[in-house]
Structure 1
């Protein structure tokens, strides 16, 4: 199950919740009870592994295929 990060606009309380994709997003703050909660989105780290991501990673010999 994915974990989502939430923040309350009213009291600035940060919390995370594990929810199914089909669950509705949380809107009520568990700390202050106000309906001011929104999801916080952050960048996802990307790590490239393997061959094919750089010019030098092409298959075969570069001297015989380039002229």
Structure 2
């Protein structure tokens, strides 16, 4: 739920209200009881928690994690067996 900032046009009192977006605007000031509250325009605030977001986080989002790991192991096995093959053939 968003937090809205209100200010009374009569007495200048300001307050924050936690409201649903569908709730009606507040009108009565809690200080002077005048129906002069006006909703203020404020910047949205939010926090990103965790280690952060990087460009590389979703580069390979189409591939499952197991397929990525299996693919990297298979390619390293292929490289090591192909490099071992010609060296052992020349030694015989």
Instruction: Return the TM-score normalized by structure 1.
Output: 0.63
Residue in structure 2 matched with residue 32 of structure 1 by the alignment: 32
| Higher Rg | 2
**Higher RCO (CA-CA < 8 Å; seq separation 6+):** 1
Instruction: Return the TM-score normalized by structure 2.
Output: 0.47
Q: Deviations over 1:4-52 (max 9, x none)?
A: 000000000010000011110001101100011001102347xxx755x
User: Any gaps of 5 or more consecutive residues in structure 1?
Assistant: 52-67
Aligned residue-pair number: 51
Inter-partner Cα distance in structure 1 for 2:6 and 2:29 = 9
CA contact (8 A) 2:5 2:40 kept: yes
Name the structure where helix makes up a greater proportion of residues. 2
Show the 5 A alignment for 1:4-23: 4-23=4-23
Compute the RMSD of aligned alpha carbons: 2.2
Large movers: runs of 4+ above 4 Å: none
User: Any gaps of 5 or more consecutive residues in structure 2?
Assistant: 46-52, 56-92
